[in-house]
Amino acid sequence: METRTAFHKRLREIQDDVLALGSMVSKATLRSVEALKNRDLGLARQVVADDKKVNQKRFDIEEKCVQLIATQQPMASDLRIIVAVLNIITEMERIGDHAEGIARIAILIGDEPPLKPLIDIPRMAEQAVDMLRRTLDAFVNRDAATARQISAEDDTVDQLYDQVFRELLTFMAEDPRTITRATRLIWVAHNLERSADRVTNICERVVFVVTGKMEEIGASKY
């Protein structure tokens, strides 16, 4: 018979908050790239403004975790969940920052003529967001195997990044007047590569929740 129902209810609420934060930063990432692709400055500004909500949500969750640690003496898996959440929300807040960074680049680019149609950059964003969504599912399901598997998928994002980088390099080599525009797109791709890396850090936390072991899985080449 469960003896700590009130505590476990609050722990579940924190988990729900983590999912909500995940949804916020996923949306921010996709919208930032959409803003860039469609030259939608209004949407880009919206992403920048919404990042404050992401930061606030992270602080709120952190405060709830501190209160639970201070008042509920969490033990074993309960303690691991709270410690993992503190790390996961930090990673997600940074993913939110990367999205904000992309939105700021979109604003910076403004209505400059496009260098090339964006193909791989939206793919990177979709891949990173999909990894994050499935990682949070693995967190909720306490599924270490899936977390390890998702972590390995970071290679796909790294390959896309390489591809974007190489392609933009050729533009710059051919015509130095494209250097500014190409560099900005490299920054965008770099932000997305970082986001996917942060998802792999979250995967490590999922493994920690399940196994109690802190281990580095699928180290990124970058």
Contact status: 159 vs another protein (CB under 8 A) = no
We find the least distance from the C-beta atom of residue 52 to another protein, in angstroms, to be 24
Q: List binders of another protein among 61-80 (CB under 8 A).
A: 66-67, 70-73
Q: Does 141 bind another protein (CB under 8 A)?
A: no
Cβ of residue 9: shortest distance to another protein, in angstroms? Answer: 9
Is residue 5 a contact residue for another protein (CB under 8 A)? yes
- Under the criterion CB under 8 A, does residue 38 sit at the interface with another protein? no
Q: Check binding of 146 to another protein (CB under 8 A).
A: no
Question: Is 12 an interacting residue with respect to another protein (CB under 8 A)?
Answer: no
Least distance in Å: CB of 202 to another protein?
Answer: 26
Sole residue written with tokens 């503190």: 86
Told to check if 7 binds another protein by CB under 8 A, we report yes
Q: Smallest distance from the beta carbon of 5 to another protein, in angstroms?
A: 6
**Residues making contact with another protein (CB under 8 A):** 1-7, 10, 66-67, 70-73
